[in-house]
Amino acid sequence: MIRRYHTMSRMDFDRSDISQRTDGFLPRDLEKISLRATRSLQTNSLRASTCIQKSLVAVLAEFTPLAQLSTTKEEGCNNTSWADVGGLFDVKEKLESTVRHPVLYRRIYEKAQIKLPRGILLYGPSGCGKSYLIPALARECNYPIVTCKGPEILDKYIGASEANVRELFERASQMAPSILFLDELEALAPRRGSDSTGVTDRVVNQLLTFLDGVEDVSSGTVFIIGATSRPDKVDPAIIRPGRLEQHLYVGPPESTNEWSDLLLRIAKNWNLKTDSLLALSNGEAIARIVNDIPRLCAADVRAAFDTAHLNAVHRTLAGDIPVNDIEKIEIGIEDLQFGFRKTRPSLSESEARLLHPIYKSFRGHGPEGAKTDIRPLKTSLR
């Protein structure tokens, strides 16, 4: 294509490198890249044979493929890093081994001749990080992500919902290797027969068609990840082996180490005094801070830090230091204690009683997942 725009008899550039950088690009994308690279060569007035590679790499660094321009992404997804995810040691390890390693070590996995799972189901109480994990995973793996929340795909017109499903899979396939994230899966793929209109039944059938590989997207390495707080309401056919077959429980931290890791990673967003940092690293201090709050989740912890920060602001303003002399607000141990005392768990006791047997039963009949434990923190931190 470059020859069309630039008069030269020889194209000296690393074809293998450019091929990898343009994986999943459409012909129209390649034409635009060639045109921009040629204009760059003409502007610089240099021999193309010496700088064609640099020109292409520079253009690709600022180029967004057409497939990604039409992809809906949640605001702020690119700012979520893997290092920001606290706790969840087992879940993070399994996600990396399932999603990142098969692409990173493709040759090794191909020689193993093992059919790897491409579908993952994350389940657990709300506020524990299911929706937070996947954008961070996509950034860690450097994969594009196509995100869909269950209700967004449903349409009142016949055939429109199924078309939306096809479009999702097509977009994910065009950007492969990629992640297709189906959030609130219980709304997108409920048990068939539960909807009087039949809309969700047709959506489930369309999903099954893609998951079975009849319309094959797996050849391009599209990882399909669903998330739900009610796995019992998802159609059983969606989560059987061969589809969303790897089931991972995402719940509150289950050990002092996980609690400490979660607290310290969240604490990075604020200025903490030395005594506060030491408390977050000490198992006994953690137990004293959160012992009276059962069913605490990651979202509740973040809310507690917000309250603690606000209390630190009020405490500082109430002091004798002039406002103009205040350089930074630091959260002390008394602020943290206040923040956690004021925090109420998102998961009520009645909801915990309802969900605990569901998760326990689901884990018992599904593939291996993390330990299901939504007991009060007092017992979890012993």
% of the chain with per-residue pLDDT over 70? 80
Element counts in the chain: helices (H) and strands (E)? 20, 5
9 part of a folded domain: no
Q: Please give the span between the terminal C-alpha atoms of the chain, in angstroms, as a whole number.
A: 66
Looking at the fold, whether 171 and 48 belong to one and the same domain comes out as no
377 part of a folded domain: no
354 part of a folded domain: no
Looking at the fold, whether 27 and 91 belong to one and the same domain comes out as no
Q: What is the CATH number of the domain that holds 130?
A: 3.40.50.300
Looking at the fold, whether 118 and 171 belong to one and the same domain comes out as yes
How many domains does the chain divide into?
Answer: 3
Looking at the fold, whether 226 and 320 belong to one and the same domain comes out as no
Q: Is 82 or 40 the better-scoring residue by pLDDT? A: 82
pLDDT band at residue 220 using 50, 70 and 90 as cut-offs: low
Looking at the fold, whether 231 and 136 belong to one and the same domain comes out as yes
pLDDT band at residue 364 using 50, 70 and 90 as cut-offs: low
The predicted model gives 37-50 an average pLDDT of: 63
pLDDT of residue 367: 43
Which of 251, 281, 308 is the C-terminal boundary of a domain?
A: 251
Q: Which amino acid is present at 368? A: E
Looking at the fold, whether 206 and 232 belong to one and the same domain comes out as yes
**Listed range (76-90, 242-256, 343-357) with the worst mean pLDDT:** 76-90
pLDDT band at residue 73 using 50, 70 and 90 as cut-offs: very low
Which stretches within the chain are classed as H helix? Answer: 2-5, 15-21, 27-44, 48-61, 66-69, 89-95, 101-104, 106-112, 130-141, 150-153, 160-174, 185-188, 199-211, 256-267, 274-281, 283-290, 298-317, 333-342, 349-365, 377-380
363 part of a folded domain: no
Q: Is 357 or 289 the better-scoring residue by pLDDT? A: 357
Looking at the fold, whether 132 and 52 belong to one and the same domain comes out as no
366 part of a folded domain: no
The predicted model gives 142-150 an average pLDDT of: 87
- Would you give the distance in Å from CA 69 to the centre of its chain? 19
In 3D, which of 351, 314, 350, 348 has the Cα closest to residue 329?
A: 314
pLDDT of residue 78: 55
Other CB atoms within 10 Å distance of the CB of residue 181: 29
Looking at the fold, whether 264 and 239 belong to one and the same domain comes out as no
356 part of a folded domain: no
Identify the domain containing residue 55 by its residue range. Answer: 15-65
- Mean pLDDT for all residues in the chain: 79
Q: What is the CATH number of the domain that holds 261?
A: 1.10.8.60
pLDDT band at residue 129 using 50, 70 and 90 as cut-offs: very high
Looking at the fold, whether 244 and 331 belong to one and the same domain comes out as no
360 part of a folded domain: no
4 part of a folded domain: no
| pLDDT of 236 above 80 | yes
pLDDT band at residue 69 using 50, 70 and 90 as cut-offs: low
Give the tens place of pLDDT for each residue, 320-356: 677 666 778 889 888 988 998 898 888 888 998 999 9
Looking at the fold, whether 153 and 277 belong to one and the same domain comes out as no
| pLDDT of 9 above 90 | no
Looking at the fold, whether 169 and 51 belong to one and the same domain comes out as no
pLDDT of residue 162: 85
Looking at the fold, whether 167 and 279 belong to one and the same domain comes out as no
Q: Are 185 and 120 in contact (CB under 8 A)?
A: no
Q: Is 74 or 259 the better-scoring residue by pLDDT? A: 259
Which of 190, 225, 251 is the C-terminal boundary of a domain?
A: 251
Q: What is the pTM of this model?
A: 0.74
Other CB atoms within 10 Å distance of the CB of residue 81: 11
365 vs 235: CA distance, rounded Å: 15
